[in-house]
Amino acid sequence: MSLKLKNKFTAELPADENLENSRRQVLNACYSEVKPRKTSNPELIHVSPELAETLGFEKDFIHSKEFLNIFSGNKVVEGSTSYAMCYGGHQFGSWAGQLGDGRAINLGEIEHKNKSWVLQLKGAGETPYSRSADGLAVLRSSIREYLCSEAMYHLGVPTTRALSLVLTGDQVLRDIMYNGNPDYEKGAIVCRVSPSFLRFGNYEIFTARQDLDTLKTLLNFTIKHHFQHLGKPSKETYIQFFREVMERTLSMIIHWQRVGFVHGVMNTDNMSILGLTIDYGPYGWLEGFDFGWTPNTTDSQHKRYRYGNQPNIGLWNLYQLANALYPLIEDPKPLEEILNDYKSVFEVKSLEMMRSKLGLELQQEDDLKLVHELETVLQLSETDMTIFFRNLANLRKDDSESGIQVIEDAFYIPTDISDKIRQSWKSWLNKYKERLQEETLSDNDRKTKMNLVNPKYVLRNYMAQLAIDEADKGDYRLINELYTLLKKPYDEQSEYAKWFAKRPEWARHKVGCSMLSCSS
């Protein structure tokens, strides 16, 4: 097959008139034309057959030289225009000005079965938005992005996806810990796939520059192609657009909290307008349940993007988007109402989510108190979130002996569990069993329902690091094993039971297994 790409983004939006690939401020434009950098010796490490099928790719094409050339950046599809988007953003709470696709190059849109996806190469070379960087990515971060994108999809979390992982054959210089000791690493490229890669920052940049004509053009384009159901663009449509973005963002973060995912870099330039998880950098899953944990070394002091603060940051980012849209709406009241709704709706949805994790179908007045008490006792000692909720489903509500032994495997250091902590656990578990008495579901039916929302397997950082270490030696079997495992995260998969385990002690402080930098 020959790949055919559409070019709606470049055909309908204003382009950067300067065709030089030089770092600069790009004004009055939504994108700059740029071609991927040639790679010296590309090798296809892995491809997602499920996503390839969704895109309409034939098996022969996936394993062809043509596929490798396109998705390693060595060939631009005939008739298409590859480009990098212009956007700005608030980073760690401060306006950072122009940012843009500094190491991502969009190839165009593919259409199949009345759906459209943008294909984007991450790590394909410099663009006008690369600033002082080289626009490349390393194997380490590319493996993490590739595996996590697909893992999140199968967990049921709204996300961009990943089609392919390619080794470039080139060396990339990186200072992994920002400590003045750079070293060369293997370069790689991930093909990311999404209906759109538009972010909050795409709209912020034009308002910040008072370029309201381009802002309006981009917003109308967004509604036309991604929010068609809202009708023709108007002030009322813009308000409804903002409400839907709010709802999608809220839903995404509820899912993050459900599975214990911490994004790590919730800057406004990393917030998808479609409510998709985007830009997998220093992310991580909670090991020990801890509202204060962040996986990002850059955020280690202030912990702005910690697990427990993600809902608040979602709202803060929506305020920035509201400010960006305000000049086209000219009425603060509807925007304020939507932002206020976020707070109240989030409380309702969050409790609904926790009820589902606890296997509670009925709504009882004291459920919020039960949840808060659980969150308190979970933090009395280091308790693995994934293992705890998965094992809690084994509790028998009529068994007086059933209790703390059901969840003991989730404790990282059992010797830390003092008599006082054990008593706190027994007290909560008894309240939980009393609450279960009010439910009509049998223990087995409740377990089945709980296991649909509490995953058995997530991509723990140490697992990804093991795959990275093996891949660095040229062995990609663990990448495939983890990819296969994470396609069915809610299933028992007894053949992979070794991955249903707490983080090993050797990984507690190992680089790449605990906190990570943004270096890629």
Q: What is the pLDDT of residues 250-270, one digit of tens each?
A: 999 999 999 999 999 999 999
CB 468 within 8 A of CB 143: yes
Q: Tokens in use for 316?
A: 């803060």
CA distance 126 to 132: 10
Is pLDDT above 60 for 519?
A: no
Residue linked to tokens 């996503």: 51
Exposed (0-12), middle (13-18) or buried (19+): which is 94, by Cβ within 10 Å? exposed
CA distance 98 to 88: 4
- Range list of H helices, 35-99: 49-54, 59-62, 65-71
Share of the chain above pLDDT 90, in %: 92
The residue with greater pLDDT, 1 or 130, is 130
Residue linked to tokens 């657009």: 241
CB 165 within 8 A of CB 146: yes
What pLDDT is stored for residue 346 in this prediction?
97
**Residue whose C-alpha is closest to residue 291's, from 356, 375, 370:** 375
Mean pLDDT of 511-520: 70
> What is the pTM assigned to this prediction?
0.97
Least confident segment among 22-26, 171-175, 442-446: 171-175
Residue linked to tokens 């790689």: 188
Mean pLDDT of 362-379: 97
What pLDDT is stored for residue 235 in this prediction?
97
What pLDDT is stored for residue 400 in this prediction?
73
Q: What angle do CA 369, 374, 376 make, to 5 degrees?
A: 95
Mean pLDDT of 475-487: 98
CA distance 296 to 97: 22
What pLDDT is stored for residue 180 in this prediction?
75
pLDDT bracket for residue 178 (50, 70, 90): low
User: What are the residue numbers of the active site?
Assistant: 269
CA distance 368 to 440: 20
State the greatest distance between any 2 C-alpha atoms of the chain, in Å, as a whole number: 74
CA distance 390 to 297: 29
Question: What are the φ/ψ torsions at residue 103 (nearest 5 degrees)?
Answer: -145, 25
